[in-house]
Amino acid sequence: MKRFFFSGVILMVVAGGWVVRTFEHETKSQNDGSAVKQLVVEGEKALNIGRYTDAKRVFAEELKLNPQNIQAEWGLKKAQIRESLSGEEFKKAVDDLYQQNAMDGHVSLFLGEFYASNHEFEKAQSYFEAAIELDPSLAEAHYDLAAINEQQGNLNGARVEYLKAISLSPEARYQNSLATIYFKQKQYEAAVKAYGKNLEYPLSSLASAKIFWRLGYLSQALNYQKEAVKLLENELVMLKPENQEAWFIEVDPEKVIKLATLEEKKSYAYLSLAATLFLHGDAVEAERSVQKSSQLALTKQASINMLLKTELDTLMQGNAEVLELVEIFKNRYL
């Protein structure tokens, strides 16, 4: 009788242990599945807002957990192509994707971006619209559609599409582009308000300063430029994903300057600040800010100087009081 009881206890313990292990195994499997699913969602979100480096990292991480995940494999392929290829090589790779799945919104988006880069705007628009129809959550398609509207002078159409992109994902560059439309339409109050929605995004601070250049309010411009420099010199702020992205600053409708590195962005900010300081009568601090730019020793410095010259000529032309000082600053430092 005792032996039977003892055996029963052993049986219960063993059985109980099996139940515990089975439960733990099932829970772990469920958790792993949730993690994988979450990574897929995270990767798709990164694709939808054009953060292809992040998307590539997420999908690669997911494939380590589940090498048979077809969705992750497809997402990684799209992210790699968009991140690393350009020109005809990019077009060929995207055509291959299209043959594999013509109903993928990102593939239509990529085709639209190829045609837009070649100024074939009608073709680009048709692909962007197809991308939106295939994937209504694709914010980047609205953003790109807005950009080609803007390039063709359809500012109202661009504003509508930027607003749609923002409604899907309030990215800093989407908000910044919308504010620039207001600026071009001389809706300066709306532009400053839209730029102000971007916290810790130095490009918006610099753009707000340009509005006050135009209006002749140098003190306000100075405050925004100082804020931009402060943000650019803050390592933690500049590690934020939106601050890792390149800046594209329009010189004229046919020319855009790309500032990709932190040093290029700093140089543009230092010189913008120097110009305002000089026009405001503080030549000593202006000189110091110019020196900070010079110490960066950039190969792209001539393009940055040209950009600032153009902005000063355009934005200060209505302010007769500072035109002479503008010429002195340009001749001395640019």
SS3 label, residue 280? coil
Q: Which residue has the tokens 């979450």?
A: 38
Residue 20's pLDDT band, with cuts at 50, 70 and 90, is: very low
What's the whole-number average pLDDT of the chain? 89
Instruction: Give the per-residue pLDDT at 11.
Output: 31
Residue 238 neighbours by CB under 8 Å, 6+ apart: 231, 232, 244, 262
In the chain, pLDDT over 90 holds for what percent of residues?
Answer: 84
Instruction: Give the per-residue pLDDT at 253.
Output: 77
Residues 281, 83: Cα–Cα separation, whole Å? 45
* Domains, the chain, with CATH or none: 201-334 (1.25.40)
Residue 293 neighbours by CB under 8 Å, 6+ apart: 266, 267, 270, 271, 274, 301
Amino acid at 62: E
Residue 40's pLDDT band, with cuts at 50, 70 and 90, is: confident
Query: What is the average pLDDT across 116-136?
Result: 96
Count how many residues are written for the chain. Answer: 334
Label each residue of 212-244 as H, E or C. Answer: HHHHCCHHHHHHHHHHHHHHHCCHHHHCCHHHH
